[in-house]
């Protein structure tokens, strides 16, 4: 069967004819089964083996029908799925991808630790083999959505006698397993979308390992590169997103305008448009394969732009911008930039330069892997992890 726009439209029409969108879950399951979840994924795994750009046709044809919740499902859709597709066994792909896409099972990410954030490879959570199982002990932190997650992508240390990058192994962690303790971390916004997760004697079957033992760093790179594209490279219409909110305020409140604010808004509009077009180019490059280090540049630009725009939004509103809509402590499901006030957006944007890779680390990646500049000296590169100072 030739896979072109007409074929995709026919598949979408058949789906709409056979399944009622009013039944959200059954419709999403059917959409996955006919290959219209991710058309570039293989047949039987939510796709048709089609070019990635044909996903745009799917989204147009199925506009107005139930869609995955890209807020609560962000880690599953943007990070876990491409990693499972690349490194998972056939059994793992068939087990995890469908409920991940439909939202029946939510995912979180167990990477960062109190002593291993920007230098992730120094992480100390241990996984010790016990027959056909692994026993995991350690602590993870800044875990978005752990309080409602069914599964997690986990990197743990399985060998302390080799350098830090070579002693890691990648697992799927059962968040309902005995020994998993999730505790909220209240943020500057008042809510707790993040958590700290304590793992005490957690037993994971070897069938939950992704990739080879000791190859966890390479597997994690696939996750991290996709994470940065998911955060910084999401499609945005011209004049949409944060720049749209600020521009709407500017247009509707002429009494707030000053020459200086106007100049800043114009500069940020240009920067937002450049970032949007760069994101479009990056998504086109994805059609040729896995995301590369260019995604780090997109995420870096996204964080800087979001912080500048949210600051301008507050400043533009004067005294009104100093108000805050709701300090109530709650376990939020996702980040709601557009449903909350300017104060929330200003405070939450501060995290954009930390989550998904700090801006400092991303600048190093861009410098070394995009621009080809010399690497920073790394004196611990060949030192066994057990001998590193901690």
Catalytic residues: 227
Tokens standing for residue 71? 């807020």
In 137-162, which positions are buried (b, 16+ CB within 10 angstroms) versus exposed (e)?
Answer: bbbbbbbbbbbebbbbbbbbbbbeeb
Considering Cα of 23, then 25, then 28, then 30, what sign does the dihedral take? Answer: negative
Please answer whether residues 321 and 246 qualify as being in contact, where contact means their C-beta atoms are separated by less than 8 angstroms: no
Distance CA 33, CA 315 (A): 49
Tokens standing for residue 356? 């998904």
Measured between alpha carbons, how far is residue 387 from residues 122, 139, 160, 162, 384 in Å?
11, 20, 9, 10, 6
Q: What does R_g of the chain's alpha carbons equal in angstroms?
A: 22
Distance CA 349, CA 337 (A): 9
Distance CA 114, CA 280 (A): 35
């Amino acid at each position: 069967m030739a896979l072109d726009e007409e074929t995709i439209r026919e598949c979408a029409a058949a789906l709409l004819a056979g399944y009622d969108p009013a039944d959200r879950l059954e419709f999403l399951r059917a959409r996955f089964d006919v290959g219209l979840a991710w058309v570039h994924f293989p047949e039987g795994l939510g796709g048709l083996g089609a070019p990635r750009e044909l996903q745009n046709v799917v989204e147009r044809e199925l506009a107005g029908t139930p869609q995955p919740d890209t807020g609560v499902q962000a880690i599953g859709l943007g990070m876990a799925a491409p990693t499972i597709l690349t490194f998972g066994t056939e059994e793992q792909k068939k087990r995890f991808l469908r409920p991940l896409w439909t939202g029946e099972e939510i995912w979180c990410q167990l990477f960062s630790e109190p002593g291993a954030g920007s230098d992730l490879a120094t992480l100390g959570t241990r996984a010790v083999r016990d027959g056909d199982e692994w026993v995991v002990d350690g602590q993870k932190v800044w875990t978005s959505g752990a309080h409602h997650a069914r599964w997690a992508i986990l990197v743990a240390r399985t060998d302390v006698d080799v350098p830090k990058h070579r002693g890691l192994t990648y697992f799927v962690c059962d968040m309902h397993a005995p020994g998993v303790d999730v505790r909220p971390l209240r943020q500057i916004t008042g809510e707790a979308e993040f958590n700290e997760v304590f793992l005490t004697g957690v037993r994971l079957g070897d069938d939950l390992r992704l990739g080879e033992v000791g190859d966890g760093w390479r597997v994690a790179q696939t996750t991290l590169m996709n994470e940065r594209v998911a955060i910084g490279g999401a499609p945005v219409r011209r004049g949409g997103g944060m720049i749209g909110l600020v521009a709407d305020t500017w247009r509707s409140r002429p009494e707030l305008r000053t020459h200086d604010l106007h100049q800043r808004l114009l500069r940020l509009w240009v920067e937002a448009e450049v970032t949007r077009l760069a994101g479009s180019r990056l998504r086109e490059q994805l059609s040729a394969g896995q995301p590369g280090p260019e995604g780090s540049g997109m995420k870096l630009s996204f964080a800087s732009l979001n912080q500048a725009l949210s600051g301008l939004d507050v400043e533009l509103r004067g005294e009104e911008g100093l108000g805050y809509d709701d300090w109530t402590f709650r376990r939020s499901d996702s980040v709601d930039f557009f449903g909350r006030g300017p104060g929330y957006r200003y405070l939450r944007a501060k995290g954009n330069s930390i989550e998904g890779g700090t801006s400092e680390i991303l600048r190093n990646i861009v410098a070394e892997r995009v621009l080809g500049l010399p690497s920073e000296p790394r004196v611990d590169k060949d030192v066994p992890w057990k001998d590193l100072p901690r």
